[in-house]
Amino acid sequence: MILPIRSRAAFLVFALFFGLTAGVAADEARPRIGLVLGGGGARGAAHIGVLEVLDQLRVPVDCVAGTSMGALVAGAWAAGMSPAAMREQLGRADWGDMFVDNPEYAEMSYRNKLVSRRYLPGSESGVSKNGVAYQAGVVSGQKIKLFFNQLVRANQGERDIEDLPLPLSIIATDIGTGERVVFRDGPLTTAMRASMSVPGLLAPVDHHGRKLVDGGLVDNLPINEVRERCKADVVIAVNVGSPLLKADEVGSLLTVSAQMVGILTEQNVNRSRALLKSGDIYIQPGLDGISAGDFSLYAEAATRGHAATEAVAGQLARLSASEKAYAAWWKGIEVTKRASPRIDEIEIVGLDRVASSALERHLSVHRGPNWSVLRAVLFLIGEACCDVCATGCYYERRRLMGNKFCSPSRSQHPLRLLPGDVREASGAGLRPVSL
């Protein structure tokens, strides 16, 4: 039967309207999706490849949880960084230098050069009023924390987890009690740093009276966390953990320690995997030949993660959203630029053993409405602090932190450079700029 022109036009309008409303309804009725990014050191770069495929297939996520390296990728993604930008940033990172706290050898004083040649990193000890004191880890992690700040743009004002557009959970371990600690709020970079604190290698993070280390010890694949966090109907779990060493490979203090951590991690991963349901998607990239410390192979790890996710594209396709719905979802998360806050005054206060002039002479920043916090923080940590250490004035042991006063009741906004960890301020409006 041939319809009249007017009837055909009405039919086309009805079909178009019905198709659009059906597509919207399908997006609204989609299952809630939780993404889990497990820990695995350098092997965790495979998560970037996973995110690339999820983006290609237009799979939106309702919440994400990460442990260790998975926390780094999850945190950066939830903070608005695209997988492509993550690849680029990891490519720029000097991982060898990042795990060395000392400044460049050429910048050290003669005395510090002698010390660096004579002693192993992290072997320094001393005497305090409480007796002999040892370093908490081979690396204190200052440069790693700086890298996190750059990654999530926290050097322009700390990013709080609860303010991120994508619900995020980061897992750490209380080394004092063995308890699992979940960050659902608070400073993002602090949570990322705590979750990556490999015991013995990186110093623990002091947070609210607790010493926090790598979350892989208690929950390396936090599947249950996303079920609780966003009531996920479907869980996409990515396991990049290192396999256990063979018996004949365990023969030194380091390998025994690594195997002990590996056993604890493997046990909790097996418990988490038992929580997977029939509709969930489990991804385990083939990462043979890439160890937890092979950060130079980040691109290869990301490529293998991409391939492993493409292998389950058929299962992921059912979770795909329409182009319009996915674009709207990502637009709400992506951050391409953050404005630097105004700063009118720079103060250095609270130093006990080092004169403020020792830092002031290394600063080359300017005040004013266009003054960049990013430039100040990078220069302060990358140059000023290292220069002070290099000249031998390293007896001020506490870390330098920055506080930005941004109370609406005041017209001036000083940047206060303080030693020690950022604590809750007594004055209203005191806000940390993480260093």
Could you list the active site residues? 68, 214
DSSP β-bridge partners for residue 131: 128
- For the chain, give percent helix, strand, coil, nearest 5: 45, 15, 40
The H-assigned helical ranges of 332-410 are 357-360, 373-379, 386-390
Report the side by side order of strands in the sheet with 400-405. Answer: 345-348, 414-419, 400-405, 430-433
E runs forming strands in 30-138: 33-37, 63-67, 125-128, 131-134
With contact defined as beta carbons under 8 Å apart, do 197 and 45 qualify? no
First vs last C-alpha separation in the chain: 74
Radius of gyration over alpha carbons of the chain, in Å?
Answer: 25
Residue 411 phi, psi (nearest 5)? -90, -15
d(CA 291, CA 240): 10
Q: Cα–Cα distance between 165 and 186 in angstroms, integer?
A: 14
Q: Decide if 77 contacts 151 (C-beta within 8 A).
A: no
Tokens for 289?
């030949």
- Give the Cα separation of 356 and 285 in Å (integer): 51
Angstrom distances, CA of residue 317 to CA of 282, 304, 344: 14, 20, 52
Nearest Cα neighbor of 227 from 183, 276, 282 is: 276
Q: Please report, for the chain, how many H helices and E strands are present, in that order.
A: 16, 14
In order of 329, 350, 377, 402, 429, the CA distances from 407 in angstroms are 33, 21, 21, 16, 4
Three-class SS of residue 116?
Answer: helix
